[in-house]
Structure 1
């Protein structure tokens, strides 16, 4: 049978579809490689997308916490008017204070807010109160210093919704209350009733002796439902009475309290001298507030306080309306904290982001190296760079794009309350880098057809002119950027040069080390050649020319180690700052003191505290604040000084053990003149008193003192100005505080002992003070991100090391097989691979530690550790002696781990190669 020749397709016919498409064939050929690449892209996309969302989330929580935690007197926006003037009719004046008119004005206030400034209906309020408290004329009310209580009459809306009646009933406005009404009903809170002795049915007469009096009948006692809410806490006397003082010397103390009237009883205040004042208080809603709303919110507040918003309120409510709030100050505090934290977090973002890009590029390089022969064959048979690059791009995109999309979805599910735009952009950037890594590396490496079997090491593959020029250009740019950063400082936030400092320093180190790395190894190989055995010489010679030591692996390791070292140093510095602040706040591991550290302790207090489990030592001190120093004819005011009186030996031992102003005990013991007390003083006190002897008048007695030592700090007081003397030589010896040391002080037992002693004793533990500095979500979120960044950096460092070793694994396996045929033992083979991997690992470890140390020195002036560590506790003692410095463990541990990991990988590789026969590795015609 004669076979007919196949006819050629016509010009209009379609080309037959290939039986095995390229992408499907490649994925079926190497499914493990594709899966590993997909996992790498998925994890990288997840981290890249989760980072901006995590920053948004903790900033949003931090803003809400800052606004919610601020005192209501700062966060609430209050609109007030002077009250009805005397020019209008009496009916109009009374109508302006009734609940209907106030509610209508309240709606206008809410309409004037707009934007992100919204009100919480349950905590916002409006009403009328007396601007001038009225004295209560009844003699049965308590009168400290013979001054009658001063009552603020408040007619506020929503009393029934915000309180629970414990006795009697709520007040009512019977009939039509006018300015001529002389008797009204009121309620008081339980704390007011208990303190002032008020009961249901009590009658209180308020008003001046020379003015009209108003009779107030108490119809009920109420308990606030939410005492800490804005409704009750904005006016400090609304929920509980307080003490006030009259001007003059000496001042007289009196009680201040509030009487809660019915809302429609406000017109009765016009008949008093209390200057009734309408008000509308808006509690800001924080549930939907985000950090991105801060600029607009600040503008809205500025417009309401002194701008178009205030003009509209004047037009709609009253021409004399005034808006007061410190919410803009609260937002300023948040912005200041965020500005201190953001640059530190950005350093982690730049460092880990750069490491991730380098590792993904290394993965593409590994795939390109493994398929070098395949791509070289395609090029030799006429394959174009565009065709090869397009096929490789399609091949990687099929894996990278779905993996990046899945990583984005996981990040969105894992982190809520955040924007999605930046996360999408970050995941898209990861997908783009992942898709381009293999095609770019392949196209660059196969610009011209390559000869099969060429060596790829630093001996023959010498850098060309273009690479030299590119490296010099990058080196000059990086050095210039670092120099500019060093000259201008780190306070300029106009660009991201500060945050990119680790990347720039690591780039400089990587370029320099890659160029200089082979030289010392080649010099060391020469004397090693004269030693017995070939293992040492072979390891040094191969390490000096191995292609595994390239710029990308070294850059990845340097970046990861530098970021881990910097992050560990920041976290260690934050912990040191908080530990220092806690020590300054307590003065020891625990502190038992009387009220204000000035009231004498009960007898037997020191003995009772010593018996508490975990207590090692107890130092009794007598503290006197606001000590007056002799003026000595100076015009300036003397500094506020704290006097500390203690036993010289015990107090000197305490200061030495705490490393807080250590001084010799002899500095407090009597000198040549036993009538003169020798003292340890702060620099400010020493400068004020100067040399010589000075007479001090204190509550503890009058004495003459001379300065024997000067120290910056002392354990007993947190103030920076102090004077420490021997307490046994004072006229009036009365210890007021106990400084307790001990590794495991039982706080519950210590508080129980203080309660048994009686008196109003305060117990403060150093551990509790330390834990109180981490309440801010902004700080806690930044620390969690940095901890995660350190972990991610360590993971990428391990991956970079593995990729660099995997790239040279086939060539090393072949080498071992060849040397084994020449008599190399299995133990010598393992030693060879271990010694060969050791110099690159040492180079990366030393370089990473050096880059981390340089980065810390470069960025230390711009890192505000005090604000980063203590912004959640603004009332703590100032800690100005804490700065960012290199933490030895943060630099040494990751570097040591890299060396150990490299040795372990080399050992595993040698063990695996030893299990395989030499025949499988040495095939005829193989040029590896």
Structure 2
């Protein structure tokens, strides 16, 4: 007896195109689902490394220190041994061994040694003396100076192991080239440092070195090691004096015990940003906490010193980064929920299309005794081959494309796609064929009446949507404490709108059909009748996909638009114009004219600025005086929107200067005439205008007056330049004539807001989400047309036999699809607008737009972007019409006999 062919092999051979299309769809969906958590991990990891790298080394290094006089028992010899180079190296290795693997150490930039806690005064009068007195020095015996510097002259200091004690009279040292140049130190110079007891210590300079990588941790945690600085006396006014550093040999560290100030042994552990990722962030934070006040600190105190102190600013950096990340996470989750929902609807539609295409086949199996379980099992085995293959390939591609992400979330995401893809066709077929039935009644959208179960489900979704919107408006996303329900709020709004539109859809169809029925042409009436003949099941899913996609695209576009607007306003508030030239002293009078001739400059507003204006009211709050040219400054304020006013209101018309003031200054002057300024050059003002902002003052309180009325000669110290296309190089060349003038561009300031990989990564996620959502929406549109293509072809064949021309047939098919496309487009734009209005109070885009930059714009709320609302909707109508026209062209090219067959029930 011949064995029947296996079901799966037979089906795959019979319909290889459908299997390949399903495999491709699942592959793309699995790739996107698996790549999303990896992409989020990747940009968060890059953001973490960027934040740590961008922070100054003294803010990230882990510093451990020990006082030999407090931590060591056993007398002077034991304290001396505690500072020996061999002992410090052994302690350094113990610290490295105690640190967990989650905190990778940059051993090249880590340092250890001993130093004086306070600078020591010297007695050599040949050193340069400033107004505050002779220089002071920090004595440091840090290891590996030779490996982190290049010799300029002389040699490195030497000391034999064990030869230096606190009683040694002379030691050798090196200084950096910057220290040598500022303090006039040469090779062979001897510096005498007083001791706590006995004769001064003679420190002989044997070499001058140039630091390698001076901005990195080894030299920058204690910057005086490489560059001398100014200290100031406690006198009034404070007087400056030099502070430098003497670099002793590591074996000479015991000599520090003889100094008149305290000494410490230290170990500076530099974390390696390259070894940090977002998955290890909790463990790194836990390690830092344990080092500062936990078990790890207790273990190191047992091994190294009983009173070992640990401090680090790294935990503050990590907490700040975690706050930015937590604030962005709910906003990014909105995009994930939107795209995920549209993808799920498309997979459902794919299963529905396959079930409708094989309805007759499955009905025949049921009529011949096939069980629902058996049919569902065969269908599951049939779709499992392409679905599981596509899901595995998509996951593998995602892991290769985004190797920085964690593997488990990617596997779970792909598994969810595979499970959903395998279940759609079997469950849909099992539901439709759960009981055998004859040819069904018409399931027209116009005639259909929603069941009670559907009403209950829709009311449940409505309650969830109201709860999500309410929670989002109350709690917001700025604290990062948003759950899945809050992040899904825009999607839920789109779902509710789709269900509502499906219920309202029959009404406009009935109203539009009435005048069409009285017209002579049949195409308009037939198209509306055909649109109403669509089943509710075949209308809900496409409309749901289109609305959710449009809502997500509009929401994402508005997010990106809001971010761009916030950055524009922040950069404008920071610079005050398109460009600015600043100088501590007055600028040359001819510079304004020179700048006006620079290519791209449209206007220049000169401003004289004084930071400490005396209002003579006894209060200490600083007020900035801005003396301006009323005409150019008024044009600038009107163009930027920063406190606009009319130039005539600022011109002097009598002995009193009219002024524009910030609210606090206006309150202090109480609206009347007041004499202010220095005793040498007083002037009278009257506040006629109050503005909260003005272009020349980026922060603080201000008073703006006409420069012509200010007593004395006061040249401009700032030029505010208008011209979006002006080049910084051209302005720099013009400003170099002004000496120490600096040029700042608004474009450069704005670019600074996008340097964080966390922000740029979140923006890319939103842009990709909008594009992917639009792609799935187009696919849903195509699937909805394919689901009814056979029925349309049969209808057109029948109408052609009744005299319908090809041109009329094409118009009929196009117009039949137009009502649903218009419904989705208009509804999508309205729903996107409503969703933004409902959710805007709960979404703060400040962290996404500005991160931790010190520009205060208040809460940056989401705003509707007309382009993001209208452009996708118009594109949807255009694409729907194009797809319908292409399908109509294909159908009308076929012969009528191909579509009309005896016994065809379509």
Which TM bucket (shorter chain)?
over 0.9
Query: Deviation per CA, 1:299-355, whole angstroms, max 9, x where unpaired?
Result: 222222123333333333223321111111011011111011101111111111111
Contact 2:59 2:314 in 1 (8 A): yes
Q: CA deviation at 1:208?
A: 8.3
Q: Are 1:253 and 2:235 matched, yes or no? A: no
- Hey, what does 1:362 align to over in structure 2? 349
For 2:254 and 2:165, locate their aligned partners in 1 and report how far apart those are by CA, in whole Å.
5
For 1:858 and 1:156, locate their aligned partners in 2 and report how far apart those are by CA, in whole Å.
61
Q: CA deviation at 1:17?
A: 6.6
Q: CA deviation at 1:699?
A: 9.9
Distance change >3 Å, CA 609–CA 480, structure 1 → 2: closer
Distance change >3 Å, CA 224–CA 100, structure 1 → 2: same
Query: Deviation per CA, 1:352-387, whole angstroms, max 9, x where unpaired?
Result: 111111100101001111111111111122211111
For 2:715 and 2:200, locate their aligned partners in 1 and report how far apart those are by CA, in whole Å.
49
For 1:514 and 1:720, locate their aligned partners in 2 and report how far apart those are by CA, in whole Å.
55
Query: Deviation per CA, 1:130-189, whole angstroms, max 9, x where unpaired?
Result: 111123433333333252222111110111111111211111126822212232221111
What is the 5 A alignment of 1:494-573?
495-547=483-535, 550-573=539-562
Contact 2:642 2:694 in 1 (8 A): yes
Contact 1:376 1:452 in 2 (8 A): no
SS at match of 2:881: helix
For 2:98 and 2:838, locate their aligned partners in 1 and report how far apart those are by CA, in whole Å.
48
Q: CA deviation at 1:698?
A: 5.1
What is the 5 A alignment of 1:630-709?
630-631=616-617, 638-671=620-653, 674-697=654-677, 701-709=681-689
What is the 5 A alignment of 1:229-378?
229-378=216-365
For 2:763 and 2:597, locate their aligned partners in 1 and report how far apart those are by CA, in whole Å.
39
Contact 2:821 2:877 in 1 (8 A): yes
For 2:579 and 2:284, locate their aligned partners in 1 and report how far apart those are by CA, in whole Å.
43
Q: Are 1:742 and 2:727 matched, yes or no? A: no
- Hey, what does 2:138 align to over in structure 1? 152
- Hey, what does 1:6 align to over in structure 2? none
Contact 1:76 1:283 in 2 (8 A): yes
Contact 1:179 1:269 in 2 (8 A): yes
- Hey, what does 2:22 align to over in structure 1? 37
For 2:614 and 2:284, locate their aligned partners in 1 and report how far apart those are by CA, in whole Å.
46
Contact 1:848 1:895 in 2 (8 A): yes
- Hey, what does 2:91 align to over in structure 1? 105
Q: CA deviation at 1:556?
A: 0.9
For 1:648 and 1:401, locate their aligned partners in 2 and report how far apart those are by CA, in whole Å.
72
Match of 1:439 among 386, 406, 426: 426
For 2:414 and 2:233, locate their aligned partners in 1 and report how far apart those are by CA, in whole Å.
66
Q: CA deviation at 1:832?
A: 2.3
Distance change >3 Å, CA 347–CA 247, structure 1 → 2: same
- Hey, what does 2:830 align to over in structure 1? 850
Match of 1:826 among 806, 810, 817: 806
For 2:784 and 2:679, locate their aligned partners in 1 and report how far apart those are by CA, in whole Å.
74
Contact 1:23 1:395 in 2 (8 A): yes
Q: CA deviation at 1:721?
A: 2.2
Q: CA deviation at 1:211?
A: 8.4
Q: Which moved more, 1:729-738 or 1:384-393?
A: 729-738
Superposed CA RMSD in Å reads 2.3
SS at match of 2:682: strand
For 1:510 and 1:870, locate their aligned partners in 2 and report how far apart those are by CA, in whole Å.
35
Contact 1:602 1:759 in 2 (8 A): no
SS at match of 1:661: coil
Q: Which moved more, 1:142-151 or 1:581-590?
A: 142-151
Q: Are 1:807 and 2:760 matched, yes or no? A: no
Query: Deviation per CA, 1:66-101, whole angstroms, max 9, x where unpaired?
Result: 112211111111111233259853322222222112
For 2:530 and 2:622, locate their aligned partners in 1 and report how far apart those are by CA, in whole Å.
71
Q: CA deviation at 1:282?
A: 0.7
Q: CA deviation at 1:485?
A: 4.3
Contact 1:845 1:899 in 2 (8 A): yes
- Hey, what does 1:863 align to over in structure 2? 843
For 2:539 and 2:16, locate their aligned partners in 1 and report how far apart those are by CA, in whole Å.
28
Q: Could you tell me which runs of 5 or more consecutive residues in structure 2 were left unpaired when the two chains were aligned.
A: none
Q: Are 1:137 and 2:126 matched, yes or no? A: no
Distance change >3 Å, CA 466–CA 453, structure 1 → 2: closer
Contact 2:329 2:480 in 1 (8 A): no
For 1:261 and 1:487, locate their aligned partners in 2 and report how far apart those are by CA, in whole Å.
61
Q: Could you tell me which runs of 5 or more consecutive residues in structure 1 were left unpaired when the two chains were aligned.
A: 1-15
Q: Are 1:430 and 2:417 matched, yes or no? A: yes
Query: Deviation per CA, 1:278-310, whole angstroms, max 9, x where unpaired?
Result: 111111123332222222222222222123333
Contact 1:564 1:890 in 2 (8 A): yes
- Hey, what does 2:34 align to over in structure 1? 49
SS at match of 1:867: helix
SS at match of 2:652: coil
SS at match of 1:80: strand
Distance change >3 Å, CA 209–CA 263, structure 1 → 2: closer
- Hey, what does 1:794 align to over in structure 2? 774
For 1:593 and 1:79, locate their aligned partners in 2 and report how far apart those are by CA, in whole Å.
43
Distance change >3 Å, CA 761–CA 482, structure 1 → 2: closer
- Hey, what does 2:570 align to over in structure 1? 581
For 2:169 and 2:441, locate their aligned partners in 1 and report how far apart those are by CA, in whole Å.
109
Q: Are 1:903 and 2:881 matched, yes or no? A: yes
Q: Are 1:770 and 2:758 matched, yes or no? A: no
Q: CA deviation at 1:210?
A: 11
Distance change >3 Å, CA 628–CA 390, structure 1 → 2: farther
Contact 1:340 1:863 in 2 (8 A): no
- Hey, what does 2:167 align to over in structure 1? 180
Q: CA deviation at 1:272?
A: 2.1
For 1:458 and 1:66, locate their aligned partners in 2 and report how far apart those are by CA, in whole Å.
56
User: Please, what TM-score do these two structures have when normalized by structure 2?
Assistant: 0.95
Q: CA deviation at 1:484?
A: 4.7
Distance change >3 Å, CA 81–CA 439, structure 1 → 2: same
SS at match of 1:498: helix
Contact 1:565 1:890 in 2 (8 A): yes
Q: Are 1:467 and 2:454 matched, yes or no? A: yes
- Hey, what does 2:52 align to over in structure 1? 67
User: Please, what TM-score do these two structures have when normalized by structure 1?
Assistant: 0.93
Distance change >3 Å, CA 712–CA 325, structure 1 → 2: same
Contact 2:677 2:683 in 1 (8 A): yes
For 1:223 and 1:586, locate their aligned partners in 2 and report how far apart those are by CA, in whole Å.
38
Q: CA deviation at 1:619?
A: 1.4
For 1:822 and 1:505, locate their aligned partners in 2 and report how far apart those are by CA, in whole Å.
46
Query: Deviation per CA, 1:417-443, whole angstroms, max 9, x where unpaired?
Result: 221001001101101111111111111
- Hey, what does 1:781 align to over in structure 2? 761
- Hey, what does 2:741 align to over in structure 1? 761
Contact 2:582 2:718 in 1 (8 A): yes
- Hey, what does 1:191 align to over in structure 2? 178
For 2:680 and 2:863, locate their aligned partners in 1 and report how far apart those are by CA, in whole Å.
43
Q: Are 1:22 and 2:7 matched, yes or no? A: yes
For 2:881 and 2:546, locate their aligned partners in 1 and report how far apart those are by CA, in whole Å.
15
The count of corresponding residues between Structure 1 and Structure 2 is 901
For 1:707 and 1:30, locate their aligned partners in 2 and report how far apart those are by CA, in whole Å.
83
For 1:24 and 1:792, locate their aligned partners in 2 and report how far apart those are by CA, in whole Å.
33
For 1:482 and 1:529, locate their aligned partners in 2 and report how far apart those are by CA, in whole Å.
44
Distance change >3 Å, CA 739–CA 45, structure 1 → 2: same
Contact 1:136 1:149 in 2 (8 A): yes
